[in-house]
Structure 1
Amino acid sequence: MPSRVPLRRAEARRWARRLHAVYGLVILGIVTLFVAGEAPAERLVDFEVHYASTPLIREMILLYLTAHIVASIMATVLCARWAASVIRPRWLRRGLRLLIIGFGLNLGVGLPKVAAMIGRWTGHNWDAINAQIFQLCAFACTLFTFLGFTLPMVGGFLERLRSQIRAFRRLGPLWRVLRDAIPGMSASLPVAWWDVELKCQRRVAEIQDGRLALRPFRSQALAVAAAAQAEAMKLAADLAEARVEAIVLADALARKAAGDELPLLDDTSAPCPASTGRL
């Protein structure tokens, strides 16, 4: 399976180069046809229908509408395939689903124009199709595409912020206990109220400083006994580590309050939380 990943990447690069070449030629063709044709009147709403029978301008319109419709189909299919394979992050999957709708609605922008042009060629008046469906689909397409691109960024940011706030609050009880026991542990420098990430990082650092200050009161024998008990209870590794650390810290705080200092030993085997999740 890993050997197929470079092949897929190489294939994707080949497809990208082909698309760049094709659409580069399309852009060149659009510019060439527009310069060679005559479109003296500025038509902001019904340009395609108004010049449906004008030589060269007609071909230019068909060229860019075809490129637009093909691009909409390809983008819809790619987003659908990607959304089907994405599980996490969930905001990316939701954004892709909105992009599927947005790019799909792009067909409602191009196809009514083609229908109105065909109506002009066959002697029918299908301008209402272009006027009504185009305006509705253009608005909806813009809305869903905008939401599809912005939702993963905004949603991901809000989810990270919520996780940081939750971690900051969960660290509160341990931080306050250590702060009361070791007054010099807390830094006096203020942190902006909105910088939750920095506040969380500083709280973790201060808790680690508090743990270091309690080293003379930590019992290695108690840590070993607590680890054996956690193993007997068949706890998960993270939960067992947290349980052992809680027991050792509670005992160290009690010893410090009583002034019962132990000989300073190497406690490198004792649990040392390295993240807010473990703390």
Structure 2
Amino acid sequence: MSLVVYLAALVFGLSCVVLLRRPVTAVRDPLTVSTCVAIVLGSLVFVCSAPLTLAAVNDLTGIPNFGAPLTYGMLSAYSCSLIVLLINWRGGPRDRVRRLVLRAIAAYALLIVAVIALFALADADTERLTDLDTYYAGTPFLREMILLYLAGHSAAVLVMCVLCVKWAREVTGLLRTGLRLILIGGLLDLVGFQAAKYTAVAARWTGHDLDFLSTSVAPPMASLGALTCSAGFVLPRLLPAVRAHWRGLGDYRKLAPLWTLLRFVSAAPKPPVSWWHLPLEKLRWREVSIHDALLALAPYFDDRVRERARQAALRAGRGAHQARLLAEAAMLTDAARRAAAREAPLDAPSSYRLHATEVSGTGGLVELAQALDRSAAADAKREGTVRAAHGWNHG
């Protein structure tokens, strides 16, 4: 069981690592900080509740069941962090947000103090690593401690679910998806963890034994609910960035024909080669390098080459924009060839501006690269046709 709990804690905590991939920027954002705090506290709850951890804590302190108030206090802190996260996610006037956050922290700080005090007053000499809630369900002070921590967690999850239902009606897209995932995670926690715990404890009060609900059903349901909530909090924040990096990777690859032609010209400094460079960073460097190369080749631009290629494209039925791109690709290929051969620049260089330099972003460069690729493919096809005809005549 401990291995499963530790694995859940690891998976839970990884989302925090992803959110903090840029620590300097992340710590300035209250929403990111509160998200990471909630995820870290949730991971610590899993770690603390593992039987191996409970046994180690008990042995280290010399107090039987000392791991119980530690785990319950950590769970209460996690419950508080969920409310704080929702407050920051909702946003609003800064003073109001700060006031609500402080109230939530104060309420749960009192709850944690009460949990510790009740444990100190109770008689819990028999160590219980997996079934403490049911074993001590009727023990004075421990009974109140168990109900108190459960009630504090229930209140936080209920508030979270109600707010998610309310806000999901007001938003769309990824944010609504995230709220629905949080709601599902909250319901899994309410039904699978809390209801199981309450039922098992109540059964003990009435002389029945439903301990399996507390020891076998509640832990995995709590893990599943927490992981689902984590996905709901993280998804709306990470998925747009993932999509942007995926598009960046696609544009980076689409620029390959243009970069292959121009790389010998560019003098832009190269970044250190590392496999972990993000696609957008690699795309920005390639974009800057290509613009640097285009600037260096400008003295070799020949308007006559461009105009001949444009007229040929128009005669072939190309649209005006497509003909322009094919003409620019032809002019650029000619300029790169002459620059590579160390020919002298034109006496009267062209003042023509490429389409790619007139639009922002990488869209123009991608269009030019694709035109260059099509032009090269067409040239290769013509060359192959000529060679085949030549070989047929000789045969």
With structure 2 as the length reference, what TM-score do the two structures score? 0.52
Residues 75-117 of structure 1: per-residue CA shift (max 9 Å, x gap): 33344555555545x4x66554433322222212122222222
Distance 1:102 1:48 in 2: 23
The CA distance in 1 between the partners of 2:216 and 2:183, in whole Å, is 22
Query: 1:60 Cα deviation (Å)?
Result: 1.2
2:133 to 48, 53, 56: 48
CA deviations on 1:99-151 (whole Å, 9 max, x unpaired) are 33222222121222222222233344443443443244234334434544565
Distance 1:6 1:246 in 2: 50
Matched, 1:121 2:205: yes
Q: 1:130: which partner in 2?
A: 214
The aligned residue for residue 24 of structure 1 is 109
State the aligned residue count. 254
Partner of 1:60 in structure 2?
A: 145
Question: Counterpart in 2 of 1:205?
Answer: 288
Q: Which residue of 2 aligns with 1:191?
A: 273
1:102–1:142: 8 Å Cα contact kept in structure 2? Answer: yes
Q: Is the 8 Å Cα contact of residues 218 and 248 (structure 1) preserved in structure 2? A: no
State TM-score, norm by structure 1: 0.69
Cα distance per residue 1:45-85 (max 9 Å; x no partner): 22121112211111111111100111122233344555555
The answer to whether the Cα contact below 8 Å between 2:261 and 2:336 also exists between their aligned partners in 1 is: no
Assess, with a 3 A threshold, how the Cα gap between structure 1 residues 252 and 56 changes in structure 2: closer, same or farther. Answer: closer
Residues 151-230 of structure 1 mapped to structure 2, 5 A cutoff: 155=239, 158-179=242-263, 183-185=264-266, 191-192=273-274, 195=277, 196-216=279-299, 217=301
Counterparts of 2:330 and 2:253, CA distance in 1 = 20
Residue in 1 aligned with 2:362?
A: 276
Q: Shift in Å at residue 264 of structure 1?
A: 5.0
Q: 1:126 to 1:20 in 2, by over 3 A?
A: same
Equivalent of residue 98 in structure 2, options 2, 5, 13: 13
**Cα root mean square deviation, aligned:** 4.1
CA distance, structure 2, for counterparts of residue 125 and residue 256 of structure 1: 83
Q: Are residue 140 (structure 1) and residue 231 (structure 2) matched? A: no
Separation (CA, whole Å) in 2 of partners of 1:244 and 1:81? 53
Instruction: Give the whole-Å Cα distance in 2 for the aligned partners of 1:174 and 1:213.
Output: 14
| Residues in 1 aligned to 2:178 and 2:92: alpha-carbon distance in whole angstroms | 27
Which stretch of structure 1 is more off in the superposition, 111-120 or 164-173? 111-120
Structure 1: runs of 5 or more not aligned: 227-234
Is the alpha carbon distance of 1:6 and 1:111 closer, same or farther for their aligned partners in structure 2, counting shifts above 3 Å? closer
Report how far residue 30 of structure 1 moved. Answer: 0.9
| Rounded Cα–Cα distance in structure 2 between residues aligned with 1:246 and 1:79 | 53
Distance 2:167 2:127 in 1: 40
